[in-house]
Amino acid sequence: MSAAHDRHAAPHAVPVIAIDGPTASGKGTIAQRVASRLGFHYLDSGALYRLTAFAALRAGVMLEDPAGVAAVAAALPVAFPDGRIELAGKDVGDAIRTEPISQGASIVAAHPAVRDALLGRQRAFRRPPGLVCDGRDMGSVVFPDAVLKVFLTASAETRAQRRYKQLIEKGLPANLPAILQELRMRDARDSGRAVAPLQAGAPEAVLDSEGLTIETVVGTVLDRYGSAVRDQASGRSAGAAGSTLQG
């Protein structure tokens, strides 16, 4: 079933801020801070694709097998207690952040059946007073009626530097040229796929974080949200950002 058949024709009572963008653009950090400033819930949609790849590999299911991986996705025994990520009761927060799982997530994410299997789980995160979510298709497919859609980006070199710094800070091995190459591979796969490709949507959704501090980016998202809410209240189209995604 196409996710384009969205049931939310009237404005939804629970506001969603959708933050999409390529790998290492800072989506997770920004989305979590915006959520905490507004007292909203937070959804890391990428974690679901990572968990699916991780669970499939564990179960001996080939990542290139759409039906097999979709079955794994549909039955994922996942829980998010206090922001931790648990699979069958075990904390896998670090285990799903390795490079092989990042590439694996991007492989399983290209299967339409897998995306369909994860759709309901993602929408279930929409609870009062609001939701901030990050991923690749939050504004285009999962929450097309999001009150604010942001496409957070930065150059590949800057994003590779950020990922490199993150790994070094965690005491993990890191090689900058390899990170840059892997990041470009994942960008290409995520943007080039037929289903829910990574795309900026409307030009006004773009937020280029090149050279900006985290606080500046958070402030910009909060400002845009404030304007979007005012626009919605005054009856203007608040979903201007990303509205072209609806075709």
- The yes or no reply on residue 69 touching ligand CDP (CB under 6 A) is no
What is the DSSP secondary structure assignment for residue 89, as one 8-state letter?
T
* CB closer to ligand CDP out of 18 and 238: 18
- The yes or no reply on residue 205 touching ligand CDP (CB under 6 A) is no
Distance CA 213, CA 10 (A): 36
* CB closer to ligand CDP out of 137 and 145: 137
Distance CA 194, CA 197 (A): 6
Which residue type is seen at 194?
A
Strand partners, 41: 131
- The yes or no reply on residue 45 touching ligand CDP (CB under 6 A) is yes
Q: What part of residues 83-122 is at the interface with ligand CDP (CB under 6 A)?
A: 102, 105-106, 109
Residue from 17, 35, 42, 49 touching ligand CDP (CB under 6 A): that is 49
Which residue type is seen at 39?
G
- The yes or no reply on residue 136 touching ligand CDP (CB under 6 A) is yes
Question: 208: closest CA among 67, 53, 25, 74?
Answer: 25
Residue from 17, 24, 218, 245 touching ligand CDP (CB under 6 A): that is 24
* CB closer to ligand CDP out of 102 and 209: 102
Q: Which part of the chain contacts ligand CDP (CB under 6 A), choosing from 33-41, 129-137, 145-153, 232-240?
A: 129-137
Question: 167: closest CA among 106, 105, 102?
Answer: 102
* CB closer to ligand CDP out of 23 and 209: 23
- The yes or no reply on residue 50 touching ligand CDP (CB under 6 A) is yes
Residues near ligand CDP, by CB under 6 A: 23-24, 28, 45-46, 49-50, 102, 105-106, 109, 135-137, 186, 190
